[in-house]
Structure 1
């Protein structure tokens, strides 16, 4: 139970609603900032404006998945007004506050470091990334079905990278009957691809592998699908880039060649916000519970 914990939520999208519900269920005192246009009200939560006083009283601060931008702006789909965290806000925070976000950009990291505030990026965690790979794969399959005139079954599908998303993507395609080729650099990953019954290839030879590709799924956040690689693709190849922005595709050249290339980061929050929110909620509850236990153990 989170009885006595003052949790403040600043901004976010539909995923945050699941986290708010969970914290209320666990008896935390919840303050919502940037939820002015939220139609449904949460019993047990209060809406407030961003202020130094609210932050001084906060034990647990929960920011959106994207945290802040480089100027401290916090995105919220439930608020018409802009929300901006400044250096003064961080200086006013309870020194024992725990701040949680998905991915922290330099501004947020620098402010937390300057004020010695505890910051946790949950998307860096293997468990969250693996859970999130499920809605990511489902969203990618939906995009593939919507943007091709062939079935996934029998297609020649290429997956770049055997990370947490790449492995889930390759397995799903294989289960659906696609001819799956997976590119990787690490010999260990190439061995695993072979063990999975798929066709492994080294990423250095990518240009030779795409000559018969129907769909290419990129999960590597580096420029992989270059002009030289795209030039070897059939004109009706579909590229679905699942890497974080700006992706790993030369989108300009793909458009010039008439090849459809779709950048699709953040699919969990788009195709399955409730599930994605529950993943975040469960992870945050484990982290906060562990932090409370550690704090009590040292007190």
Structure 2
């Protein structure tokens, strides 16, 4: 149980509702910031404004999956209020306070480290990323069905990257009958692609493998699908970019060429927010329980 633990949940989308529900069940005291337009009420959770919180009493701070933007603004789907997280706010928290976020950026890294607090990026954890790849794959399949006029079966698909998402995407499209090629750089990834029964290639040879494809799915958060690569693709090719913003595709050039390119980060929160929220909630509750246990052992 998390009795007497005071947690600030700042902003977020429908996934955060599952986090709130789980933490309420564990008897924690929750301050909700950026939820003033949320109709649902949770016993043990109070809606508050940023300037109403006594941050010196906060044991943990939970941000949305997206963390903050480069100016410190936090996404607030359930509020029209602009919520900004600053170094001063984090510095008001107790030294043991931990900041949780899905991903991070230079701004968030700097204000947390500058306050001598600990930041945990949930999406850097293998368990979260692997579980999260399930709704990501389902959302990708949905998008490909919606935006093409062919079946996935017998289509030619290129997947870029064999990380935790890339592996799940490649395996699933192959299971649906697509002819899947996977581009990677590491020799161990090339070996794994071969072991999976798929066609591997080195990313340096990408332009030679897109000349007859129907779908290109990118998971690499760097500019991989550039203008030179896009110029080699058939006009009917669909690009689905699953990498975090701004993605790894030259969207301007794709539009110029008339190739449909979709940036689709955060698919789990769109296609399956309840499941995606439960994944985050389960891992968060486990980490918070460990934190409580560590404190008890120090006493």
TM-score, shorter chain, exceeding 0.5: yes
1:87, CA displacement in angstroms? 3.2
Aligned to 2:267: 267
**CA contact under 8 A between 2:59 and 2:93: conserved in structure 1?**
no
70-79 vs 130-139, which moves further: 70-79
**CA contact under 8 A between 2:9 and 2:33: conserved in structure 1?**
yes
CA distance in 1, matches of 2:68, 2:236: 38
CA distance in 1, matches of 2:52, 2:113: 19
Aligned to 1:33: 33
1:147 partnered with 2:136:
no
Aligned to 2:157: 157
Aligned to 1:64: 64
Q: Deviations over 1:171-197 (max 9, x none)?
A: 101110111111111111111111111
**CA contact under 8 A between 1:221 and 1:248: conserved in structure 2?**
yes
Aligned to 1:4: 4
CA distance in 2, matches of 1:241, 1:115: 35
Aligned to 2:218: 218
1:124 partnered with 2:128:
no
CA distance in 1, matches of 2:253, 2:29: 52
Aligned to 2:81: 81
Query: What secondary structure does 2:132 align onto?
Result: helix
**CA contact under 8 A between 2:87 and 2:112: conserved in structure 1?**
no
Query: What secondary structure does 2:209 align onto?
Result: helix
Q: Deviations over 1:4-62 (max 9, x none)?
A: 11111111111100000000001111111111100111122111221375211111111
Matches within 5 A, 1:1-299: 1-51=1-51, 53-299=53-299
CA distance in 2, matches of 1:4, 1:149: 55
1:203–1:28 CA distance, 2 compared to 1 (3 A): same
CA distance in 2, matches of 1:88, 1:201: 49
CA distance in 1, matches of 2:30, 2:134: 30
CA distance in 2, matches of 1:179, 1:208: 16
CA distance in 1, matches of 2:84, 2:181: 45
4+ long deviations beyond 3 Å:
none
Aligned length: 299
CA distance in 1, matches of 2:52, 2:59: 14
User: Unaligned stretches of 5+ in structure 2?
Assistant: none
TM-score by length of 1: 0.97
